[in-house]
Amino acid sequence: MFAYRFKMNFEEQDGFSRDIELGVDQTFLDFYNIITDNLSLDKTAPSSFYLSDHRFRKKKEIIQPGQEDDTNVPAAENFDEETTMKERKLQMDKCPLNEFIDDPHQRFLFIYDLSKGWTFYIELSKIVSKDKGADYPRVVNSEGGVPVEISRKPRPLPGIDDEDELDFDEETEMTSDDQEITLDSEETYGEEDMEEFDDSSFYNEAIDESQDFDEDKL
- Do residue 98 and residue 201 come from a single domain? no
Domain range for 80 is: 2-150
| Domain final position from 130, 150, 170 | 150
The domain spanning residue 67 has which CATH number? 3.10.290.30
pTM for the full predicted model = 0.63
56-115 pLDDT, tens per residue? 999 999 999 988 655 444 444 444 544 444 567 899 999 999 999 999 999 999 999 999
- Do residue 139 and residue 113 come from a single domain? yes
Q: Is residue 104 part of a domain?
A: yes
- Do residue 67 and residue 171 come from a single domain? no
- Do residue 127 and residue 175 come from a single domain? no
Is pLDDT above 80 for 9? yes
- Angle (CA) 46-18-25 rounded to 5° is 70
CA distances from 1 to 21, 153, 168 (A): 13, 38, 60
Q: Is residue 155 part of a domain?
A: no
Q: Total structural domains in the chain?
A: 2
Q: Is residue 31 part of a domain?
A: yes
